[in-house]
Each structure stands twice: as structure tokens, then as C-alpha cells.
Amino acid sequence: MTEVAKLVDQQHAHLAVLKQIILKEKGALVDQNADLLLSLANEKSQCLKALKANDELLANHSDQSQLTQQPHLSHKMAEVKLALVECKELNEQNASLIDMNLASLNRFAQALQASRNATSLTYNDKGKTSTISSLGNDLKA
């Protein structure tokens, strides 16, 4: 096996690991497991660094032209590109899930503020609820 073929196989392996991390990330988002999310974010960052380094090695390799000229290598590259597209799609789904979780947390925070002290509830310049801690502090009843 040539060195460029080994690099392609490594790239495919890195993408397989990344896919597993992204799938675990989705589970952690659904379960709202912050500790696991932080751990997975670190793993994901390391995996992305390895992918980038391997990609640079492939791009600068002297036999890079073989990636398109040799049928078995071009087939492997097609698989790698497909795996990359799949990872991107899964990551976009997770981004949507994160946005939904953030919106839900914002609604929950507003509900908590409203229930904590309805008499001091007001809105800030961005339309979000806020409590004024000084409201009613000067009453001597």
C-alpha cells in the first residue's frame, strides 16, 4: 500500500471517529448532559485537528495526482468525501438541536423570573424579562 493510500485510509478512519463523536454529542444534547458535552467537545476538537493535519499531508503529498488517476484511490476518496458530507449533515442537526435547547432555556429562565417576583418584573432593551432588585426596597411598612 502506498503512502498516499495510507493517508486516505487514515482520513476515512478520522471521519469515522468524528461521526461517532457527533452521534454521542446528539445523545448528550437530548439528555442535556453538560459534562459529557464538554468532554465530547474536547474529543471533537482533537479529531478535527487530526483531520486537518492529515488533509494538509494529502494536499501537499508528491503523489497527490494518484488520488484522481488510480481508480481504487479515486473510489476511496469518494468514500471519504461522502463520509465528510455525512458528518457535516449530522453536525448541522446538532446545531439545530443546540438552538432549540437554547430557546427552551431562555423561555424557562423567563418563566423563573416571572414566578420569582411578579411585582418587580420588567423588560430590558432587548425584550427579555428582567427583575429590578431595587424595586420596593425603600418601603417601610
> End-to-end distance of the chain based on CA atoms, in angstroms?
87
**What is the structure's pLDDT at 48?**
97
Average pLDDT, the chain: 88
- Structural domains of the chain sorted by starting position, each given as residue range(s) with its CATH number in brackets: 3-116 (1.20.58)
**What is the structure's pLDDT at 131?**
62
Per cent of the chain over pLDDT 90 is: 65
Helix ranges restricted to H, the chain: 3-31, 34-60, 66-69, 71-116
**What is the structure's pLDDT at 120?**
66
pTM of the model: 0.77
Do the beta carbons of residue 22 and residue 86 sit within 8 Å?
A: no
**What is the structure's pLDDT at 119?**
64
Do the beta carbons of residue 36 and residue 24 sit within 8 Å?
A: yes
pLDDT at 25 over 60: yes
Which pLDDT tens digit goes with each residue over 77-121? 999 999 999 999 999 999 999 999 999 988 988 888 777 766 666
- Which residues have a Cβ under 8 Å from the Cβ of 48 and sit 6 or more positions away? 18
- Least confident range from 39-43, 47-51, 97-101, 118-122: namely 118-122
pLDDT at 133 over 60: no
Residue 39 backbone phi and psi in degrees, to 5: -65, -45
pLDDT at 141 over 60: no
